[in-house]
């Protein structure tokens, strides 16, 4: 799937626990799949510590005119939750008490009968001009900030909270940003053919169809027990794109059988709108 007219996106997962290898970055993949189905081309997923490195990345994204940057992490109450301070510094804007964010934080703690301490109020400080987004299951509000051509969306790091904010606030907004996006996806499972034996057929297919994304994932051993998962993705309108995808996959399936293997495929596509919450399997 060649980068065509799709708007570019970067995902920036902030937290030393990531760059120290304590935590595997599952948020990056979750958001990447969402953004891909929403019609964005994810060019970089980055992890940085909670320090100046994140500022450098944000400035670079803005300088390159990347359309969308989604950050995760660093919105909580502790000293090391520094994302919004780092965003402010990257944009050279003041960090100010955001009224909506303060209301969300107040409501959250009032409901639990807890006082508003300095650390809790800290979560309501946001870069000038930010729009606060209510976190439906946690204390820390998220936010959206426009910076030139770039929209920056800052989400919490706890996966459940991040996903809840994304689906509640971010997804509807991004559907408006890329209204025409539509994605078809298929997996071809091949057994008994080494990756290097099917490689010439794949090469031919990709030369013929540069707009088709094809990727092989070796699951077994290259020679002793070869098993391959081949992943296809194609953007486009129905019925043309869907038919083109099926014909490409079926063609490769027949080649695998000719090479002495067995192969089956599975088709996924976004029904009403590209989002993996509405993917149909055939």
Q: Which residues bind a copy of itself (CB under 8 A)?
A: 1, 3, 15-26, 28-36, 42-49, 51, 53, 57, 76-80, 109, 112, 114, 117-120, 138-139, 158, 194-197, 199-200, 202-203, 206, 213-218, 222-224, 231, 233
User: 99: which residues sit within 8 A by CB, 6+ positions away?
Assistant: none
Nearer to a copy of itself, 43 or 175 (CB): 43
CA dist 91 and 62 (Å) reads: 9
Residue 200 beta carbon to a copy of itself: minimum distance, rounded to whole angstroms: 7
Nearer to a copy of itself, 66 or 145 (CB): 66
Residue 56 beta carbon to a copy of itself: minimum distance, rounded to whole angstroms: 9
CA dist 109 and 119 (Å) reads: 12
Residue 123 beta carbon to a copy of itself: minimum distance, rounded to whole angstroms: 9
User: 7: which residues sit within 8 A by CB, 6+ positions away?
Assistant: 39, 40, 41, 67, 68, 177, 178
Nearer to a copy of itself, 131 or 200 (CB): 200
* 241 phi-psi bin (left φ>0, alpha ψ -120 to 50, beta other): alpha
Nearer to a copy of itself, 32 or 168 (CB): 32
CA dist 11 and 63 (Å) reads: 16
Nearer to a copy of itself, 133 or 158 (CB): 158
Residue 51 beta carbon to a copy of itself: minimum distance, rounded to whole angstroms: 7
Q: Are the beta carbons of 129 and 146 closer than 8 angstroms?
A: yes
Residue 276 beta carbon to a copy of itself: minimum distance, rounded to whole angstroms: 9
Residue 162 beta carbon to a copy of itself: minimum distance, rounded to whole angstroms: 13
CA dist 46 and 60 (Å) reads: 12
Count of beta carbons in the 10 Å neighbourhood of residue 63: 10
Residue 59 beta carbon to a copy of itself: minimum distance, rounded to whole angstroms: 13
Nearer to a copy of itself, 91 or 214 (CB): 214
Nearer to a copy of itself, 28 or 141 (CB): 28
- Per the DSSP assignment, residues forming a β-bridge with 13 are 47, 72
């Amino acid at each position: 799937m060649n980068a065509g007219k799709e708007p570019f996106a970067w995902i920036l997962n902030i937290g030393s626990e990531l760059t120290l290898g304590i935590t595997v970055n599952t948020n990056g993949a979750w958001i990447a799949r969402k953004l891909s189905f929403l019609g964005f081309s994810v060019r970089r997923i980055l992890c940085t510590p909670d320090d100046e490195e994140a500022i450098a990345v944000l400035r670079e994204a803005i300088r390159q005119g990347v359309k969308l940057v989604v950050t995760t992490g660093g919105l909580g109450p502790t000293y090391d939750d520094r994302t919004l301070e780092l965003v402010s510094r990257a944009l050279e804007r003041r960090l100010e008490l955001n009224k909506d964010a303060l209301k969300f934080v107040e409501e959250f703690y009032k409901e639990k009968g807890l006082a508003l301490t300095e650390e809790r109020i800290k979560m309501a400080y946001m870069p000038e001009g930010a729009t606060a987004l209510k976190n439906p299951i946690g204390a820390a509000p998220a936010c959206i900030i426009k910076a030139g051509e770039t929209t920056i969306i800052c989400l919490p790091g706890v996966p459940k909270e991040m996903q809840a904010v994304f689906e509640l606030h971010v997804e509807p907004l991004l559907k408006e940003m890329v209204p025409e996006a539509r994605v078809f996806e298929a997996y071809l499972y091949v057994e008994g053919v080494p990756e290097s034996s099917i490689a010439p057929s794949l090469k031919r297919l990709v030369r013929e169809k540069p707009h088709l994304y094809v990727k092989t994932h070796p699951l077994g051993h290259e020679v002793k027990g070869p098993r391959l998962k081949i992943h296809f993705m194609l953007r486009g309108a129905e019925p043309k794109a869907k038919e083109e995808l099926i014909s490409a996959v079926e063609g490769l399936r027949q080649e695998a059988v000719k090479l002495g293997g067995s192969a089956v495929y599975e088709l996924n596509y976004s029904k009403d709108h590209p989002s993996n919450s509405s993917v149909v399997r055939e």
